[in-house]
Structure 1
Amino acid sequence: MIVVAIVGLTWIAVELTRFLMLVFAAVVIAAVFDAIASWLCRKSRMTRSVALAVSVIGVIALFTGAFMLFGAQLAREFDTIRETVPRALQAIEGFLDRYGLGERARELVEVGGKDISQLASRAGGYALAAGSGLADFVLVLVAAIFLAADPAVYRRGLLLLIPAGAEKIAALALDDASRGLRGWMVGQAVSSLVVAALTWAGLALLGVPAAGGLGLIAGLLDIIPMVGPVIAGVPAVLLAFTVSPMTALWTLLLFLAIQQLQGNYLQPMIQKHAVDVPPAVLLFAVFAAGLLFGFLGVLLAAPLTVVVFVLVQRIYVRSILGKPIKVASGD
């Protein structure tokens, strides 16, 4: 019976992986709302409910404003992009022909064209997936608001499910996880601000249109380790083509430099200072989360690693093994 129960619970956990990741996403967003609302309450005479409403509206407005600013600029420049990109590609092809690399490049383009055609043929399925993702986002956002409205209720409810002998350790572990998430948010906020500022300044110096919107988008997408800068770089390069192919090349180099700075130095060091999680652990956790949970795992890899790291330290290393270590989130 014990073996059957273990197998059954394992099967349920595997089947509910996506659901559990959505729950964790709601907890992370709730922690963001709670941190902003608590700060507003300390700095002003706002009530908790008003501060929470301001934090929710502010975060949504920030994301919406960034993408609307970029979208409007991209729409205005679309005709220019459509005319400029083919000419730039022809110039690149001629350059490669002079060095004997043109044929190989054309073969790669042909293969890429077939892949794009296959993607286009599956557009309906991707549209359905996007619709499902939007529904998941709305669900997570609403759940996050409920969680942030009164987190103590859910904390007490969770502790009631814990055996009395382990309740104290569980309470300490929850406090550690909460502090760990707050530390991660501080580090991530600093990293996002630096990336947004560097991108904005670099694109403005290069004369790329919508430098402010692109910089803001780069800062917001910085929350996705390694993948975020790539996503942010694609529209920036397209808009840079409206200036010149050389500007597009410099824009690509700019994003590569910022990505290397952010991924290999800035974010790991900031997160280590804020949460004291070793940078290599955060780096490899991204790959592991992507393999286990897909894109959602990559998106939540950093906060998930922070929570798991402090829980292992508190529950396993300190409580079970009895070793006197300092928990990463602080005691």
Structure 2
Amino acid sequence: MTDTADPGDVSVRDGSQRIPVIDGASPNEVRDPATREEIKRAAVWLGMASGLALVVLLIQPLLIILAGLVFAAMLDGGVRLLGRVLPIGRGWRLLIVCLLTVAFLTGTFYLTGVQVAEQVNQLRATLESQAVRVTSWATAHGLMPAADDFTGLAQQAMSSVGRLTSWVGTALGALTTLFMILVIGLFVAMDPRVYERGLQWMIPQAHREEFAVTLRRMGFTLRRLLAGRILGMVAEGILTWLALMMGGVPMALILGILTGLLAFIPNIGAFISGVLMVAVGFSAGFETGIWAIATYFIVQTFDGYVLIPLVAKKTVDMPPALTLGTQILASALFGILGLALADPITAMVKAALERRGERTAEDQDAAESTSNSAR
């Protein structure tokens, strides 16, 4: 019997034999260009979705790395500033910046250690007494459980071994995170060019030049943002300390330090420091509490309407509503670390978008000039 082949089949010769080969597309082969284009688009969307899912799963390590880069930008800013007056190697300048930072912190805590420790204890006792007053008032008006019930619930919660273990684990995790941020920042600040080249190698060669420009813009914007933020923190802390000391508010030094530190997170940090300031002020008397309220509003008004606008002209111009909205979203999505990094993230994204807009305008101008020359 002779095998018959379909009319559309072809054959190839293998020695003296002919082997039939089926012609046409198989069921699992896509020859239609439109279908293949749709498959490519679907693959792109699937890859983006997978990338977003991977980012969500790894968001905490990514935030730690980003925080390390922010710390590296702070060190790099100090190194660049020191390089204007000391023409020595970058490694030596970085060493000087680190030593000056450690010396400043050590000297501050050494000179004011006893006073700060006493004021911290006073602040804790004051806040506890104020909390008891607020709780008693709320209980008297039926807004909270009775004091005995509340104390019993608190003691029961505090006696929980599992919760205590959780708190210890959280504290150790926070210290580990801080150590990793410091180490990453120090290594990046030692030789940032190595990491910049590594990022460029991950980009297609045709886009490396634009990526390098954008990366430099983002680094420059981040350094200016952090410089302005540190200047505002120092000014706000000193003004708060002096004003509270003039009004006789207890614990003026520790309140000034806390206000300066919390100023790193604008708006929300100011609210927290204001609550502490007013609580301590009213613990010393009605007039002292009024002075604390006045100090809070005066310092925050000066900081919001005089200092920040002046610094913003030299650093990064970000609208307050954008900053607050970013902080709310970052805190809800990523916790306290996301809240602290909300401003740097916004500033870097803003710098990248501005560079993108400049590049688009340059391309349009080049296209128009080419069209005009062709005419």
**Under a length normalisation based on structure 1, what TM-score does the superposition of the two structures give?**
0.78
Q: Deviations over 1:276-309 (max 9, x none)?
A: 2233222211112112211111111111110011
The answer as to 2:95 corresponding to 1:53 is: yes
Q: Compare relative contact order (CA 8 Å, sep 6+) and give the higher one, 1 or 2.
A: 1
Query: In structure 2, how many angstroms separate the alpha carbons of the residues matched to 1:188 and 1:78?
Result: 25
The answer as to 2:240 corresponding to 1:196 is: no
Does the aligned pair in 1 maintain the 2:330–2:338 contact within 8 Å? Answer: yes
Deviation at 1:8, TM superposition (A): 2.4
SS of the residue corresponding to residue 107 of structure 1 reads coil
SS of the residue corresponding to residue 277 of structure 1 reads coil
Aligned-residue Cα RMSD (Å) equals 3.8
Letter in 2 for 1:31: A
Deviation at 1:88, TM superposition (A): 6.9
Taking structure 1 as reference, are residues 171 and 147 closer, same or farther at Cα in structure 2, changes over 3 Å only?
same
Deviation at 1:236, TM superposition (A): 5.2
**Counterpart in the other structure of 2:74:** 32
The answer as to 2:286 corresponding to 1:249 is: no
% identity of equivalent residues: 27
- State how many pairs are aligned: 318
SS of the residue corresponding to residue 275 of structure 1 reads coil
Taking structure 1 as reference, are residues 84 and 288 closer, same or farther at Cα in structure 2, changes over 3 Å only?
closer
Query: In structure 2, how many angstroms separate the alpha carbons of the residues matched to 1:66 and 1:259?
Result: 23
Q: Deviations over 1:102-161 (max 9, x none)?
A: 822773785976886576453431221121011010011011011001111111111111
**Counterpart in the other structure of 2:57:** 15
SS of the residue corresponding to residue 144 of structure 2 reads helix
Larger radius of gyration: 2
Query: In structure 2, how many angstroms separate the alpha carbons of the residues matched to 1:27 and 1:47?
Result: 21
Does the aligned pair in 2 maintain the 1:240–1:248 contact within 8 Å? Answer: yes
The answer as to 2:81 corresponding to 1:44 is: no
Deviation at 1:244, TM superposition (A): 1.9
Letter in 2 for 1:296: L
Does the aligned pair in 1 maintain the 2:247–2:288 contact within 8 Å? Answer: no
Letter in 1 for 2:230: A
Does the aligned pair in 1 maintain the 2:200–2:211 contact within 8 Å? Answer: yes
Query: In structure 2, how many angstroms separate the alpha carbons of the residues matched to 1:173 and 1:46?
Result: 28
Pick one of 174, 183, 186 that aligns with 1:142.
183
Structure 2: gaps of 5 or more residues: 1-42, 366-375
**Counterpart in the other structure of 1:329:** none
Deviation at 1:162, TM superposition (A): 0.6
Q: Deviations over 1:143-199 (max 9, x none)?
A: 101100111111111111111111121111101101111221232123112211221
Letter in 2 for 1:172: V
**Counterpart in the other structure of 1:156:** 197
The answer as to 2:335 corresponding to 1:298 is: no
Query: In structure 2, how many angstroms separate the alpha carbons of the residues matched to 1:204 and 1:251?
Result: 10
Letter in 1 for 2:232: S
Taking structure 1 as reference, are residues 171 and 16 closer, same or farther at Cα in structure 2, changes over 3 Å only?
same
Greater alpha carbon shift after TM alignment, 46-55 vs 154-163 = 46-55
Does the aligned pair in 1 maintain the 2:224–2:316 contact within 8 Å? Answer: yes
Query: In structure 2, how many angstroms separate the alpha carbons of the residues matched to 1:286 and 1:261?
Result: 21
The answer as to 2:114 corresponding to 1:72 is: yes
Query: In structure 2, how many angstroms separate the alpha carbons of the residues matched to 1:66 and 1:108?
Result: 43
Taking structure 1 as reference, are residues 324 and 132 closer, same or farther at Cα in structure 2, changes over 3 Å only?
farther
Pick one of 204, 218, 224 that aligns with 1:177.
218
The answer as to 2:206 corresponding to 1:165 is: yes
Query: In structure 1, how many angstroms separate the alpha carbons of the residues matched to 2:215 and 2:322?
Result: 21
Pick one of 237, 246, 259 that aligns with 1:218.
259
Does the aligned pair in 2 maintain the 1:226–1:263 contact within 8 Å? Answer: no
Does the aligned pair in 2 maintain the 1:272–1:279 contact within 8 Å? Answer: no
Does the aligned pair in 2 maintain the 1:63–1:220 contact within 8 Å? Answer: no
Query: In structure 2, how many angstroms separate the alpha carbons of the residues matched to 1:272 and 1:176?
Result: 16
Structure number with the higher helix fraction is 1
The answer as to 2:140 corresponding to 1:103 is: yes
Query: In structure 2, how many angstroms separate the alpha carbons of the residues matched to 1:119 and 1:70?
Result: 36
The answer as to 2:264 corresponding to 1:227 is: no
Query: In structure 1, how many angstroms separate the alpha carbons of the residues matched to 2:194 and 2:175?
Result: 28
